[in-house]
Amino acid sequence: MSGPGEPLSASSTSRSPRPPPTPCTQNSPKTDVRLGGWAGLTASRSGSYVTVNTTYAHYAPTQDKFVPAGGIRGTVQSRTSSTSPWVSLKWVYPGATGKTSFRYSVSTARDYRVVFPATSMIWGATSNIARR
């Protein structure tokens, strides 16, 4: 057996040679940097009418906080129970205050949420669920 700095013995050279190493290309990692988005929803019932209020904000790094924002279309969704699928109810377009509100007639209790999609600069946001 050969030690460090000693020539290889005949037994170690009789092994078949290893193939040359294949070039290994480096993965090209991608980083997706976007601002955070935030969505909120409240709902209230008065008789057979439900009023839905939505809020949208995104993170403003220069202010180090979430600020109300508009110019993005959100979708208010509803479902009849926690096991039923979400169904689109209405599109909402918040203005500069980030708020929208609408009222509609519905006789049974439902869950509501609002979903704002991701853009190339802001992550998407889904609100809390309100049952009315």
pLDDT tens for each residue of 11-66 = 555 577 787 777 766 677 778 889 999 999 999 999 999 999 999 999 999 999 99
Hey, where are the domains in the chain?
Answer: 33-131
Reported as a single tens digit per residue, the pLDDT across 81-132 is: 999 999 999 999 999 999 999 999 999 999 999 999 999 999 999 999 999 9
Give the per-residue pLDDT at 56: 98
Query: For residue 102, which of 57, 55, 56, 50 has the smallest C-alpha distance?
Result: 50
Distance between CA atoms of residues 68 and 59, nearest Å: 9
Tell me the C-alpha to C-alpha distance, in Å, between residue 64 and each of 3, 6, 48, 57. Answer: 62, 64, 42, 13
Give the per-residue pLDDT at 4: 57
In this structure, which topology does domain 33-131 adopt according to CATH?
Immunoglobulin-like (2.60.40)
Give the per-residue pLDDT at 21: 74
Name the one residue in this structure whose structure tokens are 């704002």: 116
Span 64-83, average pLDDT = 96
